[in-house]
Amino acid sequence: MSTIAETKTYLNYVNGVWQASSSSEVVPSYNPANKNELVGSVQSSTKADLDKVVDVAKKGQKTWKNLSGTERGNYLFKMAQILEDNLNDIAETLTREMGKTLAEAKGETSRGVAILRYYAGEGMREIGGVIPASDSSALMYSKRVPLGVVGVITPWNFPVAIPIWKMAPALIYGNAVILKPATEAAVTAAKVMECFDQAGLPDGVINLITGKGSVIGQGLAEHKDVNAVTFTGSNNVGNNIGQTVAGRGGKYQLEMGGKNPIIVADDCDIDLAVDAAISGGLKSTGQKCTCSSRVIVQSSIYAEFKEKLLEKVKDIKVGNGLDGTTWMGPCSSESQYKTVRGYITKGIEEGAELILGGDTPESTDLKDGFYVNPTIFDGVSSSMTIAQEEIFGPVLALMKVETVKEAIELANDVEFGLSASIFTKNIDYILTFIDDIEAGLVRINSETAGVELQAPFGGMKASSSQSREQGQAAKEFFTTTKTVFIKG
Ligand code: NAP
Ligand code: MG
């Protein structure tokens, strides 16, 4: 396994070729497990670069939309195959750039392959339906058609899977795409694009432009020739993008934060619930939008649950994600590390009881990384900042309730509504939870963070703009409908 720093500067991928930005500015990307290790660099592109990309995408889309779905699907199958052939290399870069463990990075890259194959197949499935016309000699039908050019703005936490789950449906339905990845994980995105380059799509159909969110992201939101923008990231940025795109009559889709609860009812399999709290809360260092961050437990089993949880979390091995024995890697960057430490301090100041972690590992091997130990707070009340705001770190807040009804009220007492779990065997609890929980992803006896690519994905309340991604739901966003009436 290579740990030698790779210092390549990745260019933009525009019109089927790699192009330098008109600025000479580059942005280095470092390994959060070792802040001195340069993973690579990307360009800080300009508004002029963006105008050029939009122009070629607009032209490319004209060719692309005229291919049959089967033909477009064949390109997606090729993209999947090339990504799969390069899986180890992509996964290693992902781990080095944002810190998740190699096993998770491989899982994420495999997910990207599966998403491409799923949408490749969609090229052969129905895109409309016949509607009986009131005139018996006429044929009336609806037809899904592409939007045109789609801007794809993505976060750093899933730098392979999220761009693909947006680009694959956009492409299969006949759109051209412009990917603007998070700067913190843009090297990984560029390496994925190197794979896609080999699939030989028509020029201008798939493009990559790196640069500041405030320049390239905002530029995509403002550009009149970008017909739609699909965004995943934080609420502040997302809401601003939504307003900007809506203001010029474009289509937008926002997937944003979460503050996902697990409810642990008194009749549940406690060991299962403990494992789900750990996996859902701490995998990927708590940096999933679907991470569990509030663990709401009925009082009669609270002590037993807490004891079992502590016992298992104490054994978690924190370290460099490239080391096969590591269970949890570092925070993805220095700023993320500081944010997480800030929330931990705030939790203590506001009166929560820190019962585990809150600090950094002692090992000198880890001194150059942005590590935070798995952290558990007890006695958390809903008014505390750590019970309300998304931390995006390995921090679990334990909350005690008497009844499941109370647990659901507490679970809903946040602005977000992405994912929620309950652990119970009681059918009344389950049915009440399904009805009353304010979340787009409702999970019974399963962690909050599991996502299936063939099912709709998205949140309620402040977690999304209410549209859904993935599965068949993606068709809603990436197409518009023509109603055709043919008089014979
Ligand atoms: P972020 O800061 O909002 O950045 C997301 C993307 O927006 C990046 O590409 C960023 O570019 C760009 N951006 C930044 N400022 C912009 C602006 N003014 N105009 C347009 N674009 C701009 O989010 P993040 O820190 O990367 O990701 C973490 C967040 O993503 C968390 O809140 C998490 O919950 C959320 N998330 C949600 C989901 C979901 O599906 N619901 C999934 C994963 C993550 P730069 O990198 O260049 O700044
Ligand atoms: Mg980095």
Q: Identify the helix (H) or strand (E) that includes residue 399.
A: strand 395-401
Q: Which ligand is nearest to the CA of 100?
A: 2
CA–CA dist 421, 46 (Å, integer): 43
Tell me: the pLDDT tens digits for 187-227? Answer: 999 999 999 999 999 999 999 999 999 999 999 999 999 99
Q: In whole angstroms, what is the distance from residue 8 CA to residue 226 CA?
A: 30
What is the number of the ligand 1 atom nearest to the C-alpha of 220? 20
User: Is a pLDDT exceeding 60 seen at residue 331?
Assistant: yes
**Residue 6 in this model has a pLDDT that exceeds 80:** no
Question: Average pLDDT over the chain, rounded to whole?
Answer: 97
The one catalytic residue in 289, 331, 390, 447 is: 289
Domain spanning 4-256+464-487: CATH superfamily: Aldehyde Dehydrogenase; Chain A, domain 1 (3.40.605.10)
Distance 156 CA to ligand 2 centre (A): 9
Under 8 Å between Cβ of 145 and 128: no
| For residues 157-161, average pLDDT | 98
pLDDT tens, position by position, 53-103: 999 999 999 999 999 999 999 999 999 999 999 999 999 999 999 999 999
State the fold for domain 260-452: Aldehyde Dehydrogenase; Chain A, domain 2 (3.40.309)
Determine the pLDDT at residue 127.
96
Percent residues over pLDDT 70 in the chain? 99
The bound ligand whose nearest atom lies closest to the alpha carbon of 159 is: 1
**Mean pLDDT in residue range 402-430:** 98
| Residue 289 annotated among the catalytic residues of the structure | yes
User: What is the rounded (10 degree) CA torsion for 412, 414, 419, 423?
Assistant: -50
Q: How confident is the model at residue 458 (pLDDT cuts 50, 70, 90)?
A: very high
Residue nearest atom 34 of ligand 1, based on CA coordinates: 257
For residue 45, pLDDT beyond 60: yes
Pairing of strands 395-401, 416-417: unpaired
Number of other CB atoms surrounding residue 431 within 10 Å: 11
- CA 399 – ligand 2 centroid, Å: 33
Mean pLDDT (whole number) for 120-131: 98
What does residue 315 show for φ and ψ, rounded to 5 degrees? Answer: -85, 0
Q: How confident is the model at residue 7 (pLDDT cuts 50, 70, 90)?
A: confident
Site residues for ligand 1, CB cut-off 6 Å: 153-158, 180-184, 212-214, 217-218, 221, 232-234, 237, 241, 255-258, 289, 390, 392, 418, 459, 463
Q: Are strands 395-401 and 128-130 parallel, antiparallel or unpaired?
A: unpaired
Give the per-residue SS3 of 437-456.
CCCCEEEECCCCCCCCCCCC
Look at ligand 1, atom 46, and give the residue with the nearest C-alpha.
Answer: 182
Using the predicted structure, report yes or no on whether residue 5 has a pLDDT greater than 80: no
Residue with tokens 């017909």: 227
Q: How far apart are CA 267 and CA 129, in angstroms?
A: 47
Q: Is the pLDDT of residue 4 over 50?
A: no
Cα 92 to middle of ligand 2, angstroms: 13
Name the pTM for this structure.
0.97
**pLDDT of the residue at 450:** 84
The phi and psi torsions of 435 (rounded to 5 degrees) equal: -70, -40
Looking at residue 2, its pLDDT comes to 41
Q: Catalytic annotation on 255?
A: yes
Beta strand pairing call for 128-130 and 138-146: antiparallel
Helical ranges in 86-160 per DSSP H? 87-98, 102-122
8 Å CB contact between 393 and 371: no
- pLDDT confidence of residue 488: 86
Ordered by start, the domain boundaries in the chain are 4-256+464-487, 260-452
Instruction: State how far the Cα of 214 lies from the Cα of 46, in Å rounded to an integer.
Output: 11
Pocket test for ligand 1, best of 289, 416, 468 (most atoms within 8 A of CB): 289
pLDDT band at 283 (very low <50, low <70, confident <90, very high): very high
What share of the chain in percent tops pLDDT 90?
Answer: 98
Alpha-carbon distances, residue 446 vs 37, 127, 419, 468 (angstroms) = 37, 33, 11, 21
